[in-house]
Amino acid sequence: MSDLRAYLTRIGHDGPVAADLPTLRALVHAHVTTIPFENLDPFSGVPVLLGAADIHAKLVDDGRGGYCFEHNRLLKTVLDEIGFTTVGLQARVVWGGPDQEVTGRGHKLLRIELDGSTYLADVGFGTSTPTAPLRVEADVEQETPHGVYRLLHDADAEGSGRGAWRQQANVRGEWLTTYRFDLTPAFPIDDEAPNWFLSTSPTSHFVTGLAGARATRDGRRLAVNGRSFAVHAADGSTDRRALETVADLRKVLTDELLIALPAGIDDALAKLFRP
């Protein structure tokens, strides 16, 4: 239980825990508003390790963040220890691209069976991470503390490689697809190849660019994209500013995204400011 206690302390959850929907909602919200999304390791040439001890040390003990494979594997470990029934899933990210585009299975999320219903939990999708679990039900708008989501079921997508389900987020009145997925279990070994590619390939956007995000408990979303820092307010407005120096970037990463920066990261951050 010591690791569970450390996790609950890390996310600031001091209430009861049980394998029920209130606990699931509380943990997802607390996780996303506390542990940031970030890719400092791939960006600085450090491969991402997916061992349970490695993830716990980085995201819990060291005050760091990570990306989907780290976040959702950590959450799965916690939920399993509490007594939830969980299954890992993989998704094809289409966020920012054509809705029907077939991409690789490069995103991890969780399926939870609870009281006769199926839910999704995903605490590692950057600026569009849902801050509440979503019930797996088609064509139903679902409110979260940070926006409205829905799931669409594409019956004709079975076997197409596109995934039978689509998750969509409502962004300023427009429904945008985040990723496509199906409910086929993905086991830990299935994470190894996409994680290796995303954290080491010179063509991976996690290797070539810097990204970071955290939702706040007052309904905002904070995002770093290279040298740009954006604050997305609950009313849909965005305040964006350029970061002019490594010191500016460090301050945003530590004070806003709440990342305990690793030693030696300045050399990697300086790449963003070179001509």
Domain stop point among 157, 188, 219 = 188
Q: Do the beta carbons of residue 142 and residue 149 sit within 8 Å? A: yes
Say whether 29 is catalytic.
no
How many CB atoms within 10 Å of residue 244? 10
User: Chain-wide mean pLDDT for the chain?
Assistant: 95
Is residue 233 predicted with pLDDT exceeding 90?
Answer: yes
Clarify whether residues 183 and 223 are in a common domain: no
Amino acid (one-letter) located at 63:
G
pLDDT digits (tens, 9 = 90+) for 36-70: 999 999 999 999 999 999 999 999 999 999 999 99
Q: Is 236 left (phi over 0), alpha (psi -120 to 50) or beta?
A: left
* pLDDT number for residue 236: 87
Clarify whether residues 116 and 184 are in a common domain: yes
The answer to whether residue 69 sits within a structural domain is yes
Tell me the mean pLDDT in the region 242-267.
97
Decide: pTM greater than 0.85. yes
Q: How far apart are CA 44 and CA 210, in angstroms?
A: 9
Say whether 107 is catalytic.
yes
Single out the catalytic residue among 29, 31, 68, 232.
Answer: 68
Single out the catalytic residue among 107, 146, 191, 232.
Answer: 107
pLDDT digits (tens, 9 = 90+) for 101-155: 889 999 999 999 999 999 999 999 999 999 999 999 999 999 999 999 999 998 7
- Which CATH number belongs to the domain containing residue 267 in this structure? 3.30.2140.10
The answer to whether residue 46 sits within a structural domain is yes
* pLDDT number for residue 1: 42
Q: Structural domain of residue 159, as residue ranges? A: 2-188
Say whether 31 is catalytic.
no
Q: Which residues of 183-214 are buried (b: 16+ CB within 10 A; e: fewer)?
A: eeebeeebbeebbeebbeeeebebbeebbbbb
